[in-house]
């Protein structure tokens, strides 16, 4: 069973999907902490309502990364709560070397595109602006780059002619809420291994269309 800490900056819909999967017996995990760099983020309220320990961490003076005292505080919480793995769920800061070393191979992220296409912020809008015909979501291990870690699973979402950024993002989130618990369950079952830049052992492969 994974002892999972979830880091997020926003509303926490992916945290909710993980919590629902745990309660339904589809994810062999205990969520031991939710940590946010935004004291007003709704993910913290979701955690409190569910009885999950919730922590707001001040990451200042940095704007886009988790470093320095903020990183040290996150590591302190993770160790105190006994976290074995970390799931990034809409966490809007770049994870730095201290956390990467402490949880090497045990930090996972979900990104709203079919990586390596459209890394970074607002990937669904990037896809629309580019004129792509298909996008989706990717669950991957976290490394030193931005959305560059070894890919575990991807799910595809066709882009419709009448899509707006909001409608496309909503449909991508449906696939995120399926993919993330599944990928973490594979980790819990010990199915996956990282070989260089690739992940081996996923029992189903490739891109799954909505």
Tens of pLDDT, residues 115-152: 999 999 999 999 999 999 999 999 999 999 889 999 99
Taking a C-beta distance cutoff of 8 angstroms, is the pair 197, 150 a contact? yes
Overall fold of domain 1-104: Rossmann fold (3.40.50)
pLDDT at 196: 80
- Greater model confidence, 67 or 196: 67
Distance CA 168, CA 56 (A): 30
Residue 186: what are its φ and ψ, rounded to 5°? -60, -40
pLDDT at 209 over 70: no
pLDDT at 47: 98
What would you report as the CA-atom Rg of the chain, rounded to the nearest whole angstrom? 16
pLDDT > 90 in the chain, percent? 90
Q: What would the CATH number be for the domain defined by 110-210? A: 3.40.50.170
pLDDT at 26: 97
**Minimal CA–CA distance to 31: which of 46, 42, 41?**
46
Catalytic residue among 85, 111, 169, 177: 111
pLDDT at 204: 62
pLDDT at 142: 96
pLDDT at 3 over 80: yes
Q: Where in the chain is the domain with CATH 3.40.50.170?
A: 1-104, 110-210
- Predicted TM-score (pTM) of the model is 0.94
Residue 140 known to be catalytic: no
- pLDDT tens by residue, 40-97: 999 999 999 999 999 999 999 999 999 999 999 999 999 999 999 999 999 999 999 9
């Amino acid at each position: 069973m994974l002892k999972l800490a979830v880091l997020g900056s926003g509303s926490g819909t992916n945290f909710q999907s993980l919590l629902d999967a745990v309660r339904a017996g589809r994810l062999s995990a205990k969520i031991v902490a939710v940590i946010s760099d935004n004291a007003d983020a709704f993910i913290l309220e979701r955690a409190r309502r569910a009885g999950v320990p919730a922590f707001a961490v001040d990451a200042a003076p940095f704007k886009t990364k988790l470093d320095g005292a903020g990183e040290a505080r996150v590591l302190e919480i993770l160790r105190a709560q006994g976290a074995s793995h970390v799931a990034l769920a809409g966490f809007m800061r770049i994870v730095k070397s201290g956390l990467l070393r402490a949880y090497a191979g045990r930090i996972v992220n979900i990104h709203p595109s079919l990586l390596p296409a459209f890394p970074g912020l607002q990937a669904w809008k990037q896809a629309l602006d580019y004129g792509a015909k298909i996008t989706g979501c990717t669950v991957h291990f976290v490394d030193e780059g931005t959305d560059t870690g070894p890919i575990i699973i991807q799910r595809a979402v066709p882009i419709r002619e009448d899509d707006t950024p909001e409608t496309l993002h909503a449909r991508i989130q449906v696939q995120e809420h399926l993919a993330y618990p599944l990928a973490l369950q594979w980790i819990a079952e010990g199915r996956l291994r990282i070989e260089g830049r690739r992940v081996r052992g996923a029992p189903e492969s490739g891109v799954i269309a909505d």
